[in-house]
């Protein structure tokens, strides 16, 4: 890949940022933004699918005659397939056309969405949600990889900020749009799946017209055994996290069997990947300290983002008795903070070429935001919750895409897809496992609080039993005299969830502090001679 740079005289002398660049065919800033339009629209509708059904689940379960276990699997199916297939999408992007792959991912998502809307029973819906997750995995993993093929590492910051903003909007807007659909009687829950189809088709058209990437011809040899074993290991681990604490205790024979089986499969995956000619997860990537630590940090970033979307919605609906639509509106401080932080830090990284300071500040903000959200209760003033959401949103915005940038700046061009997908894989796995584990904690705390109220004679046994048997209790069906105690239980439960998450944000800070910063390179190609670049002088080569 050849890069022609246009640098101002001041930039050449004073080390300022590259003002413009043309890559391969001479893509200007405007052309790159045009090429990103389809990617961003596709990412928005793809991420929308992971959370839009949350507020419509009670209606879906009633119509399709699903039980409590179906509630878990409708949510978990997409995250499971998304997480399990992300490394494969990334590896394929190093071997075949990135444009073709992202179109294939979008097409898979559109097909899964249409079939999900036509589902006649719970089994069909869960299968379609799996198909949706496969498509979402492709779109979310390949977006940053496509940008990496169009812009130099130094310039990617200004563009990655858009992905962070759209990623957040798509994820957090899900409950808001789903709530509006659920509140509109003439639409029905099936439109939670249909609503993204026309936008997905439009994104496909835009991609065909605007996305033009250089095609690197390589001999394709897909690592199917490695993909299968890794997918099985991850799926078994996430199934355990999803069901533990609900279907069986955390300390049980099921836990031993699933965790032991998952670890055994991961061990087999290591052996398979070491022998594979084109491993889906190149193990030598973990020799880069930046890659390893960025993946660990992404676990908490993913858990933080998905947990806020899930549990803040429950907080406003169940602890403060707001409608699904209003609960989405009340989370806007987090969305705006995340988007602004993502855009601004991306531009600053392009200007100064440094990125670690933003990761450090992001981890501090995330830990502080979680700690403050841990103090939230039913009676807490909204402005206090808004400040807490803003801090955590700033933290995620500063870290989510910039961790990908740091990794892309470290690895060779031929492995950009695998490395970028690896960070996305850990982020999604952190989100899936974090939501499941923290959801189990929430249920435990709510049941504990209700049990205390039962002992004190404040809550009737019938009301407590109806709460226990419901995935999401309907406050309108709970007697007015009992409702404040249920709201109080959920307020304290959600606070306990975020308080438990705060120490993990501190662990993320520790991981980031040990990352060795290498200034963003101003050239597109990079072939390091060692797993970790020894000095910033390498960046000008």
Residue 206 has pLDDT above 60, yes or no: yes
- pLDDT: is 307 or 382 the higher one? 382
Q: Is residue 394 over pLDDT 90? A: yes
Q: What value does the mean pLDDT of the chain take?
A: 78
pLDDT at 70 over 80: no
- Could you read off the pLDDT of 91-105 as tens digits, one per residue? 788 777 888 888 899
Residue 147: the pLDDT is 80
Rounded Cα distance between 108 and 203, Å, is 13
Check whether 165 has a pLDDT greater than 70.
Answer: yes
Instruction: Return d(Cα 367, Cα 508) in angstroms, integer.
Output: 9
Q: Which residue has the higher pLDDT, 51 or 32?
A: 32
Distance CA 37, CA 53 (A): 25
- 295 pLDDT above the threshold of 60: yes
Q: Characterize 132-149 residue by residue with b for buried, 16 or more Cβ atoms within 10 angstroms of its Cβ, and e for exposed.
A: bbbbbbbbbbbbbbbbbb
Q: For 387-392, what is the mean pLDDT? A: 94
For the cut 50, the answer to whether the pLDDT of residue 208 exceeds it is: yes
pLDDT tens profile 529-538 = 344 444 344 4
Task: Report the pLDDT value the prediction gives residue 252, as an integer from 0 to 100.
Answer: 87
**Can you tell me the distance from the alpha carbon of 316 to that of 330, in angstroms, rounded to the nearest whole number?**
8
Q: What is the pLDDT of residue 257?
A: 92
Determine the average pLDDT of the residues in 164-187: 75
Rounded to an integer, the average pLDDT of 29-51 is 81
Q: Region 317-340: what's the mean pLDDT?
A: 82
> Mapping DSSP to helix (H, G, I), strand (E, B) and coil, where does residue 23 land?
strand
What is the predicted pLDDT for the residue at 108? 92
Bigger pLDDT: 421 vs 370? 370
Asked if pLDDT for residue 525 goes beyond 50, the answer is no
User: What is the rounded average pLDDT of the residues 153-161?
Assistant: 74
CA atoms within 13 A on the CB side of 456: 10
Least confident of 19-28, 79-88, 367-376, 406-415: 19-28
Residue 69 has pLDDT above 90, yes or no: no
pLDDT of res. 23: 38
pLDDT recorded at residue 531? 46
Provide the whole-model pTM.
0.76
Label each residue of 101-166 as H, E or C. Answer: HHHHHHHHHHHHHHHHHCCCCHHHHHHHHHHHHHHHHHHHHHHHHHHHHHCCHHHHHHHHHHHHHH
What's the pLDDT at 12?
Answer: 37
Residue 512 pLDDT > 90, yes or no? yes
pLDDT 10s digits, 217-271: 556 677 778 888 888 888 888 888 877 776 778 888 888 999 999 899 989 989 9
């Amino acid at each position: 890949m050849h890069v022609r740079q246009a640098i101002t005289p001041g930039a050449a002398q004073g080390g300022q940022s590259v003002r413009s660049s043309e890559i391969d065919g001479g893509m200007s800033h405007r052309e790159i933004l045009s090429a990103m339009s389809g990617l961003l629209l596709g990412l928005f509708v793809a991420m929308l699918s992971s959370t839009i059904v949350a507020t419509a689940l009670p209606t879906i379960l009633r119509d399709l005659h699903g039980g409590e276990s179906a509630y878990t699997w409708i949510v978990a199916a997409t995250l499971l397939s998304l997480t399990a297939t992300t490394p494969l999408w990334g590896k394929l992007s190093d071997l075949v056309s990135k444009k073709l792959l992202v179109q294939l991912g979008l097409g898979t998502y559109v097909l899964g969405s249409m079939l999900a809307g036509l589902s006649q029973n719970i089994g069909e819906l869960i299968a379609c949600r799996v198909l949706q997750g496969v498509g979402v995995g492709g779109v979310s993993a390949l977006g940053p990889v496509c940008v990496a093929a169009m812009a130099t590492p130094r310039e990617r910051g200004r563009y990655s900020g858009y992905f962070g903003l759209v990623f957040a909007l798509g994820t957090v807007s899900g409950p808001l749009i789903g709530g509006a659909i659920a509140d509109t009687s003439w639409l029905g829950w099936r439109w939670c799946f249909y609503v993204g189809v026309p936008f997905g088709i439009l994104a496909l058209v835009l991609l065909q017209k605007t996305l033009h990437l250089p095609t690197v011809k390589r001999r394709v040899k897909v690592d199917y055994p490695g993909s299968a074993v890794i997918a099985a290991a991850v799926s078994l681990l996430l199934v355990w996290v999803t069901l533990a604490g609900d279907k069986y205790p955390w300390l049980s024979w099921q836990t031993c069997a699933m965790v032991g089986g998952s670890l055994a499969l991961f061990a087999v995956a290591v052996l398979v990947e070491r022998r594979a000619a084109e491993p889906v997860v190149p193990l030598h990537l973990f020799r880069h300290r930046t890659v390893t630590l960025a993946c660990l940090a992404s676990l908490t970033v993913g858990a933080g983002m998905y947990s806020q979307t899930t549990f803040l919605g429950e907080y406003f609906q169940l602890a403060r008795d707001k409608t699904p639509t209003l609960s989405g509106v009340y989370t806007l401080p987090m969305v705006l903070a995340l988007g602004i932080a993502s855009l601004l830090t991306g531009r600053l990284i392009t200007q100064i070429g440094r990125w670690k300071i933003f990761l450090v500040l992001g981890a501090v903000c995330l830990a502080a935001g979680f700690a403050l959200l841990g103090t939230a209760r039913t009676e807490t003033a909204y402005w206090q919750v808004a400040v807490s959401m803003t801090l955590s949103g700033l933290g995620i915005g500063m870290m989510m895409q910039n961790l990908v940038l740091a990794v892309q700046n470290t690895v060779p061009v031929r492995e950009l897809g695998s490395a970028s997908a690896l960070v996305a894989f850990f982020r999604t796995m952190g989100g899936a496992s974090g939501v499941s584990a923290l959801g189990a904690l929430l249920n435990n705390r709510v049941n504990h609080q209700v049990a205390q109220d039962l002992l004190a004679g404040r809550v009737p046994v019938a009301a407590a039993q109806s709460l226990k048997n419901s995935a999401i209790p309907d406050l309108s069906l709970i007697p007015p005299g009992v409702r404040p105690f249920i709201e109080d239980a959920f307020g304290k439960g959600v606070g306990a969830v975020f308080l438990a998450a705060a120490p993990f944000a501190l662990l993320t800070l520790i991981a980031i502090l040990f990352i060795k910063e290498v200034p963003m390179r101003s050239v597109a190609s990079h072939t390091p001679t060692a797993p970790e670049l020894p000095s910033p002088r390498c960046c000008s080569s």
